[in-house]
Amino acid sequence: MQINHKKIAIIGGGPGGLTLARLLQLKGANVKVYERDMNKDARVQGAPLDMHEESGLAALIKANLLTEFKNNFMPGADKTLILNDQAEIFFSDHENNIKEDFGNEHFRPEIDRGVLRKILLDSLEPETVVWNSHFISMEPQNESWLLHFKDGLSMYADLVIGSDGANSKIRPYLTDIKPFYSGITMLEGNVYDSEKSVPKMHSLINGGKIMAFGNEKNILMGQKGGGDLGFYVSFKTHENWAKESGIDFSDRTDVLNWFKKEYPEWSNIWDELFEKAATPFIPRPIYCSPLDQSWKTISNLTIIGDAAHVMPPFAGEGANMAMLDALELSESLTSDEYSSLEEAILNYELKMRKRAASAAKDSLENGEKMHSADSLNTMLEFFNGTY
């Protein structure tokens, strides 16, 4: 095993980084996770994640965490409604989507991000995660790295793995290739206690998710753990829309006025989302790594998840790809098949880039379909199996 007696530093404590730490510790590796959050409760986690059998669930099974997942996932949260801009239902699987069928490749159980994070954190050895560790820079020290953090902490590591998201500070040490703007921006909103705050929408979503299409725009939403509801207004625009729009994203009225102006054909049933959402709303321009990206493998540094291959969210692959990265990298690093650490990392990176490019291509294509003039019919054909 090429990582025997080596100190491993994982930068970033998202699903990918924590899964990797768990898998490596099961093999006896010496690993620390450096996370910029002050503590495990520092921020609210995002929308629920749907786990795929061949990626996220495969990693959880290898990590011996499937039982914990089954005890904590959100039954029924994968139920889907497809609506038009008038909130008229064109597709529903609420009646036939009642079986929790683990082992079925089409079953994609959902779990709240915060709950998944807790499961992964609880599985790690004490003090594995070093909180309040905001990575600043690192420099080579013989065959190791000297890492520097914002609070003045400096640490040595024989192997550094970047799991620090789309704006990774580790990635530039491997490559200067940057993600490109997809042409789509999403405006994120969250409604707390949706049953009381937005009763019409809460009743309609019924614990599942909604995809609404109209006029080359859409609204996507899902029920979150704890009774909250998250939604995304998704549309095509230029890359700097958020900065140049003049919208005060901390002002519900300002955002609602924008919505009414830009979504004029849409029913006013959607208005309550904006009237009751927590502030600020969060604009998210959607980026994607080049499908043909490549870099020279080195023996003491690699990246996983969005740090390696940020992609649009229109295929639900982000967290799943990160957790599959963790699984495949852990297997390469702990295998006796390779003669060097560089060879082990090369094996992982070649496979990772190939499958990530395929997933990103699908995500880009889905994004175009979802924002096309015929998006409603296209998505109905997809969900009805006639596409």
Which residue ranges are tagged as binding site? 43, 50, 113, 306
Question: Which contiguous run of DSSP H or E holds residue 144?
Answer: strand 144-149
The Cα–Cα gap between 129 and 35 comes to 7
Which residues are part of a known binding site for FAD? 50, 113, 306
Crossing angle of helices 15-26 and 318-333, rounded to 10° = 30
DSSP-derived 3-state class of residue 66: helix
Per-residue burial over 64-81, b if 16 or more Cβ lie within 10 Å, else e, is ebeebbeeebbebbbbbb
For residue 347, give Cα distances in angstroms to 101, 165, 328, 361. 33, 22, 9, 22
Which residues are part of a known binding site for NADPH? 43
The Cα–Cα gap between 218 and 208 comes to 17
Structure token pair of residue 117: 């994070």
Is there a contact between 291 and 182 (Cβ–Cβ < 8 Å)?
Answer: no
Is there a contact between 303 and 171 (Cβ–Cβ < 8 Å)?
Answer: yes
What's 283's DSSP letter? E
